[in-house]
Amino acid sequence: MIKILKKELANYFTGYMAYVCASAFALICTLFLWFFDNEFNIFNIGTATLSSFFFVAPWILLFLIPALTMRSIAEEESTGTLQWLFTQPVKICGIVWGKYLSVIFVLLFCLLPTLLFIYTLEQFIAETQILDYGTFFSGYLGLFLLGSSYAAIGIFTSSITKNQVVAYVSAVFVCFLFFYAFESMASYNLLGGADYYIQKLGMYVHYNQFLKGIIDTRDLIYFGIIIALFLSLTNYNLEKKK
């Protein structure tokens, strides 16, 4: 697994993908939070909070993370190197986890520059004001778990096709389905009491708990199940290909 992880990290960081994704993520968030005249602009909100960032960031990651994962396995299969990997002294789960953890490192690399937003807020607040660092921590934890779930979904869709574009589109679709589609479906109140359970199937309601400063074991377990489910499906797909 370590060899796969090092290889993937080298591909991301010796090339341009990790830097482009981190720059794009930071730039888009900065424009929405500090420059564009919209409802997410912190100056328009008038309060020292990063709620706008935690609202915008999941939608940006929904498109960025699949861009990172689309080549993970699809490229290996299209070039024929996947079969070569199968002949190496590494388990299938080692391949999956090596590729998955490399995306997690890039995710952290993307989130790290946004910590400057907290420093910027500190410069604007009055001396009598105190920032809610607990909410910042829980918000970043929720965003990290959400991005990690996106990564697991992206690795899975990359394992079901040789075409990277198909892998990307499929990942965006499935991520959207889990993040917002269930929430949107439940909001119509078409199924009575069942709407509550449909809402709980989606990531949105669990992610929102972190934004309220609530770190609930049930939400941690939910994201853990999503990640484990899609990594297990990826492992199963590779076992079949082998």
Closest to 2 in 3D by CA, of 97, 84, 85, 69: 97
Lowest mean pLDDT among 109-118, 137-146, 193-202: 193-202
**Residue type at 194?**
A
pLDDT confidence of 208, banded at 50, 70, 90? very high
Q: Give the C-alpha separation, 6 to 3, whole Å.
A: 5
Range of the domain at 50: 2-241
pTM, to two decimals = 0.93
Lowest mean pLDDT among 91-95, 124-128, 157-161, 214-218: 124-128
Over range 78-96, report the average pLDDT. Answer: 82
For the chain, the domain total comes to: 1
Q: Give the C-alpha separation, 53 to 42, whole Å.
A: 9
pLDDT of residue 82: 77
Q: Is the pLDDT of residue 103 over 80?
A: yes
pLDDT tens-digit series, residues 27-77: 999 998 888 877 878 777 777 788 889 999 999 999 999 999 998 888 888
